[in-house]
Amino acid sequence: MQCILVTGGCGFIGSNFVRHMLGTDSGISIVNVDALTYAGNPENLADVADDSRYQFHRGDIIDRDFIAETIGACKPDAVVNFAAESHVDRSIHDSGPFVQTNIVGTQVLLDVCRERDVPRYLQVSTDEVYGSLGEDGYFTEETPLAPNSPYAASKASADLLVRSYCETHRFPAVVTRCSNNYGPYQFPEKLIPLFISNARSDKPLPVYGDGTNVRDWIHVLDHCRGIEAALRNGQAGEVYNFGGRCEVTNIDLTRKLLNLLDKPESLIKFVKDRPGHDFRYAIDCSKAERELNWTPQVDFETGLKETIDWYLSHEEWAQRIQSGEYRQWYERQYGERIETS
């Protein structure tokens, strides 16, 4: 595999994946297509911008002519689709952009890849398509799809489109479904970077509901290694789950973050619950371990400490983000302003 076209490479996971691939495979070149929405930040890849193996094209995956032209010009060996609207809370306020990018955008990519005979396609999906678990059990690849948020529904729709192209057209796609990622370059609207950012400036940490909801956390590099393994060795038409085998309640995670940051628990503020808030996610990733020879490597304690250090040493990165459109979003979501200076 020589050339990979990634979409959404300026976001959190996409930028980590691009850096991971360029750093571990000297024979690879990457074409990154990103619309640069509020969540897309080219600064996330500033360190590889001058690498001759890396190209960036600003554009929208919904724009069929642009996608056809870009894929026609670089003739990739594989397309990896990270591009998405990715925040559940935003999808509750307005599902429109989620339907457009996550569903229509995926359809455009599938059609163009098929027309141009792209030999490999990977759809980056989420465990949220499976819905919510109770106290017991795990999501396997056979768990029926039962999305509860508009975000999850748009991702499930895209997964089903991919499945239908595999069945109908023998399209060479794989789907990966991963649990909650943490690590560097995550947009500070998601729990971990938001709470680090708030805690460092002694602002309240808004915990939804009673904080007993459970998430299965995986380091973003373990996810990137999983995507690479599925891209290289996954069977067309198959789905692969990835998770960190690391279930934590939101309140325990919040306390852990405050403790590591040496901040008081009095910063915890219980706020109104998210509507339709999924209670528990937990992934059975034994298929990926068995068939892709993949396993999560980053221990949560170590990964969390490193992640906190990264955010503390990249204060300007966060400040530049928070000066943008994100400020108005934060005000609407939590009813308070972000002070940036």
**What are the residue numbers of the active site?**
127-128, 151
Q: Are 178 and 242 in contact (CB under 8 A)?
A: yes
Subset of 68-107 contacting ligand TYD (CB under 6 A): 88
Binding of ligand TYD by 191 (CB under 6 A): yes
Q: Which of 218, 241, 237 is nearest to 126 (CA)?
A: 241
Phi-psi region of 175 (alpha: psi -120 to 50; beta: other; left: phi over 0): beta
Which residue number, 93 or 269, has a Cβ lying nearer to ligand NAD?
93
- Interface residues with ligand NAD (CB under 6 A)? 7-8, 10-14, 34-37, 39-40, 60-62, 82-84, 86, 101, 105, 124, 126, 155, 178, 180-181, 187
> How far, in whole angstroms, is CA 34 from its chain's centroid?
14
> How far, in whole angstroms, is CA 158 from its chain's centroid?
15
**In this structure, what token pair is assigned to residue 139?**
């999501």
Q: Which does 88 bind (CB under 5 to 8 A by kind): ligand NAD, ligand TYD, none?
A: ligand TYD
Binding of ligand TYD by 157 (CB under 6 A): no
Q: Which residue reads 């068995």 in tokens?
A: 290
Subset of 244-273 contacting ligand TYD (CB under 6 A): 250
Beta strand 247-249 with 54-58: parallel, antiparallel or unpaired? unpaired
Q: Which of 162, 177, 173, 62 is nearest to 122 (CA)?
A: 173
Q: Which does 12 bind (CB under 5 to 8 A by kind): ligand TYD, ligand NAD, none?
A: ligand NAD
Residue of 120, 215, 219, 280 that binds ligand TYD (CB under 6 A) = 215
Which residue number, 231 or 268, has a Cβ lying nearer to ligand TYD?
268
Q: Which of 122, 125, 117 is nearest to 169 (CA)?
A: 117
Which residue number, 207 or 218, has a Cβ lying nearer to ligand NAD?
218
CB of 265 to ligand NAD, least distance (A): 25
DSSP 324: S
Q: Which does 288 bind (CB under 5 to 8 A by kind): ligand NAD, ligand TYD, none?
A: none
Residue of 68, 99, 140, 208 that binds ligand TYD (CB under 6 A) = 208
Using the rule CB under 6 A, give the single segment among 9-17, 110-118, 202-210, 293-301 that binds ligand TYD.
202-210
Residue of 48, 83, 129, 207 that binds ligand TYD (CB under 6 A) = 207
Which residue number, 194 or 229, has a Cβ lying nearer to ligand TYD?
194
Q: Which residue reads 């005979």 in tokens?
A: 117
Binding of ligand TYD by 35 (CB under 6 A): no
Using the rule CB under 6 A, give the single segment among 153-161, 200-208, 296-304, 313-321 that binds ligand TYD.
200-208
Binding-site size for ligand TYD (CB under 6 A) equals 12
CB of 208 to ligand TYD, least distance (A): 4
**In this structure, what token pair is assigned to residue 241?**
């789950």
Helix boundaries (H) for the chain: 12-24, 64-74, 88-93, 96-98, 106-115, 150-169, 191-200, 220-233, 250-260, 286-291, 300-312, 315-322, 326-334
Binding of ligand TYD by 180 (CB under 6 A): yes
- Cβ partners under 8 Å of residue 26, min gap 6: none
CA distance 41 to 190: 16
CB of 331 to ligand TYD, least distance (A): 14
CB atoms within 10 A of CB 26: 7
Measured in degrees and rounded to the nearest 5, phi and psi for residue 223 equal: -65, -45
The residues binding ligand TYD (CB under 6 A) are 88, 180, 190-191, 194, 206-208, 213, 215, 250, 274
